[in-house]
Structures are given as structure tokens and as C-alpha cells.
Amino acid sequence: MTALEGRTALVTGAAGGIGREVALLLGRLGANVVVNDPGVHLDGTGGSAGPAEEVAQAIVDEGGSAVADAGTVATPEGGAAMIQHGVDSFGRIDAVIHAAGILRDRMVFNMAKDEWDAVIAVHLAGYFHLVRPVSQLMRQQRFGRLIGFSSSSGLIGNSGQANYGAAKAGIAGMTRCLAADLGRYAVTSNAIAPTADTRMTQSVTESARSARAGSGIATLAPQPTRADPAHVAPMVAYLCTDQAWDINGCVFYVGAGKVSIAHEAQPLRSINKPYLHAPWEIAELAQLVPTELMRGLANPAPPVG
């Protein structure tokens, strides 16, 4: 029996990049795969069923089991429909991997409302549109794997990506809350912050460069990381296995042969004033925060001129 035989996985954004590699690997490991991708451009416009069908066919050609789905996660109906598609095709859903994503980079002071909304809708709301219906199934099954995609853009911070960074940090927050809600039902929730060269990272560089150029800021030439999206897929597959039953609520950085667990946001250093004393004076904080709390923590974008 292979590692994922009899399991059914839904992978969103599975026509390209990391999602495609995940779908192909899960298929090789014996899972039935719902290959979801609406076939849109990087900014979310357009649409074609062809890309998802191509990946589903590739899985079938290798002797696996897959169906293509061209729905969108950006609406509640779209999310519910692709979960139902998986249930109708294979009888259950054991894993949901939300790799779908779009980009609309812009400096925050110039970001249009629709650029903000479109990115939040696909990444963050899209994950809710999937986990809301599937969490009911997984709770009944007493088995499930939820794997969201986060990003260093939100966890660490990357200029020109207020929408994307917010959505990706939000997925990390969802991951932790889903773990708390569902862990007792033998459902785990984890997130991956990948490093890989895909069409998304090519555009990150290009769009961030143009955003900066529009603000009169020069940017260094793009740095190739030589990170193969296929190197992200094994950790996703591992989290789907039975062996990963007790890994819950974690965020992992994955890519280029490395897997790291992200530090939790607990206090790094503290200053204390006894509880029953008066509140802090601003002058006290002005003395202690820079010297005690901020030691070694640099301003990521200090004022210029």
C-alpha cells in the first residue's frame, strides 16, 4: 500500500508552479487528485479549463487517478462546488491543499481597492471558502489534512505587497485557529511558506521593480534562487500521510532542499512594570523600549534624507 493510496486530495492552483508539482506527486503516491485551476492569468483575469485538464491527464497517464476542476475559490459557491466535485468523484476528501494565488503588487499608498480585494479574495477568503465546507466532512470522517500556503512576504515583510502579505500572514493565522478547532477530530492544519522559482516569483521581482521605479526607487537586479517547485512538493505530501497525524498548527518554510519550522510570535523580550502600579509613563517607555526591547532589531526601511 502506497503512502496515500485510497486518499483523495484537492489541490487548488494545480495547473502550474508548486500546485502542479504537488498534484503530480500526490498522484504518484496513490492519492485520487482533484486538480483545480481556473486557468487564469497571474493577475486573476481570463480563464481556461485546459491547464487543469492537462495536469489531470498527466496523472492518469502515469497510472494515477485524477479529475480536472476549473472552478474558482474566490467565491463561496466555487469553493463548495470543488469540494462536492471531489466527493462526487471519489467519495471523500482527505486533504485540501490551497496553492491557488494571484498577485497585484503596488505600494500601499497607491494600491487600488480592487487590487486589494482581488488578492484577499483568492488567497485568504479562498481558503475559507474551501475549509468551511470541507471541515464538516473531515470532522465526520475523523480524518483530514488542511495545508495552506503562506509566504515570507507576510511573515517577514516584502515591499509592494500589502495585499499579498496580509493574505499570506492571514493564512498562517487561519492555520493556527483551524488547528485549534479541528485537532480533536484528527484533522491537522499546517501551512507552507515556499521558496521556488515560478511565474509568480518572476512577476514579484518585475512588479516590485516597476512599483519601486514608479516611486523613483532603484532596485537591484533580480536574484535567481534556483529553487525548483518540485522540491516543495514532498513536504506537502508528507503532511498528508498518516505519519504526520500529530503535526498541527505549524508553519514551515520549504524550498531548495531546506525545511524549517517558523518561530512562534511569542514575546522575544519584555519590560515589566508591576501590575498594581500606575500605567507606564511615555517617558519611561521612551527610555526602556529602544535600549531593552529593540536591541538588535533594525528598522527594515529607515527614513531617507
Partner 1 sequence: MGALDGKVALVTGAGRGIGQAVAQLLGAEGARVVVNDPGVSTDGTGHDNGPAEQTANAIVAAGGEAQGNFDSVAEPEGGEAMVQQAVDAYGRLDILVNCAGILRDRMIFNMAQEEWDAVIAVHLHGHFHTIRPASLQMRAQRAGRIINFTSVSGLLGNIGQVNYGAAKAAIAGLTRVAARDVGRYGVTVNAVSPVAATRMTEGVPGGGSGRSEAPRSAFAGMREAEHVAPMIGYLASDEAWDINGQIFHVQGGRVSVAHQPVPEHTIFTPSPPWTLPELDDGVHYVLMRRRRNASPPPDDTEVPGRDTHTRKLS
The residue (of 63 and 246) whose beta carbon lies closer to partner 1 is 246
Q: Select the residue interacting with partner 1 from 3, 49, 58, 87 (CB under 8 A).
A: 3
Within residues 241-280, the interface with partner 1 by CB under 8 A covers 241-253, 256-275, 277, 279-280
Centroid of chain to Cα 22: 13
Residue 44's nearest CA partner among 74, 14, 77 is 74
Over the window 186 to 215, marking each residue x when it contacts partner 1 by CB under 8 A and - when it does not, the resulting string is x-x---------------------------
36 binds partner 1 (CB under 8 A): no
Q: Count residues contacting partner 1 (CB under 8 A)?
A: 121
Within residues 66-125, the interface with partner 1 by CB under 8 A covers 76, 107-111, 113, 116, 120, 124-125
CA distance 76 to 81: 9
226 binds partner 1 (CB under 8 A): no
Sheet of strand 32-36: strand arrangement: 65-69, 32-36, 8-12, 95-98, 144-149, 187-194, 251-255
- Of 12-20, 51-59, 82-90, 229-237, the segment contacting partner 1 by CB under 8 A is 229-237
In the complex, minimum distance from the CB of residue 252 to partner 1, in angstroms, rounded to a whole number:
7
Tell me if 265 sits within 8 A of 173, measured CB to CB. no
168 binds partner 1 (CB under 8 A): yes
CA distance 157 to 171: 14
The residue (of 149 and 253) whose beta carbon lies closer to partner 1 is 253
> 17-28 and 50-61 helices cross at what angle (nearest 10)?
30
172 binds partner 1 (CB under 8 A): yes
Tell me if 169 sits within 8 A of 155, measured CB to CB. yes
In the complex, minimum distance from the CB of residue 53 to partner 1, in angstroms, rounded to a whole number:
25
- Of 37-45, 62-70, 81-89, 234-242, the segment contacting partner 1 by CB under 8 A is 234-242
> Which grid coordinates are listed for 65?
487517478
SS3 annotation, 189-239: EEEEEECCCCHHHHHHHHHHHHHHHHCCCCCCCCCCCCCCHHHCHHHHHHH
- Of 11-19, 37-45, 96-104, 230-238, the segment contacting partner 1 by CB under 8 A is 230-238
183 binds partner 1 (CB under 8 A): yes
- Residues annotated as part of the active site: 164
Cα-Cα-Cα-Cα torsion 86, 12, 18, 207, nearest 10 degrees, comes to 170
